[in-house]
Amino acid sequence: MTRAGMKGKVLGKEKKTAIIDARKKAVESRKNRDDKRWKRVIAKMDEEKRKKFHGVGNTAKNSRVRGATRASLRKRTGRKPDAVSMEATIHLSKLLKKKTFAKRAPLAIKRIKAFVGRLMKTKDNRIDASLNTYIWHKGVKGVPGRVRVLIQRKSETTEGNKHKHFYTVISNVPVATFKGLTTKTLEQ
């Protein structure tokens, strides 16, 4: 039932519980429909093809992911190395367009951290002193238009800890011109 259909029929707490029950029922029916569809997809796959994909056998009711999802049907790839170094150009004027002048340099630091977080999939992103001085060298208002950065992901795992903790160090790379530079992974 929708809220429009409930109007004037049930009051107060009963109304809320009725809406919640209707939502649960809708989610359950969608879940059943999805499971049936994925079971048909899996049934059509032969064993050789099924082995190439991860998550295909994940159809148990108590599993976190129901059936095969789009992400789980991606082909298996080798695990990425823990320590990765990349060089990238960040277009700051694009990220700071129409922003208050008095907040540009601190916002540039935030945007660089966010960019690197998406690129390296880490939450702990540390700005090196060289990059900080480059961003701030013309003051709070005069942030450079572009910046070339060296991004290094490192592991900081303590003994006996199950999960690996990664952090990223972002430092400045001085360049004469930004023309023709692309994002590239550096050899370790």
Domains present along the chain, CATH in parentheses: 1-78 (no CATH), 84-186 (3.10.440.10)
* SS3 state of residue 1: coil
Q: Whole-prediction pTM value? A: 0.59
Q: What contacts 156, CB < 8 A, 6 or more positions away? A: 165, 166, 167
> What integer pLDDT is reported at residue 132 of this predicted model?
97
Q: Could you give the residue ranges of the DSSP H alpha helices within the chain?
A: 3-6, 12-44, 47-52, 92-95, 104-120, 129-136
pLDDT in tens, 41-78: 777 777 777 666 555 454 444 444 455 555 655 665 66
pLDDT, position 165: 86
Tell me, what's the pLDDT at 116? 94
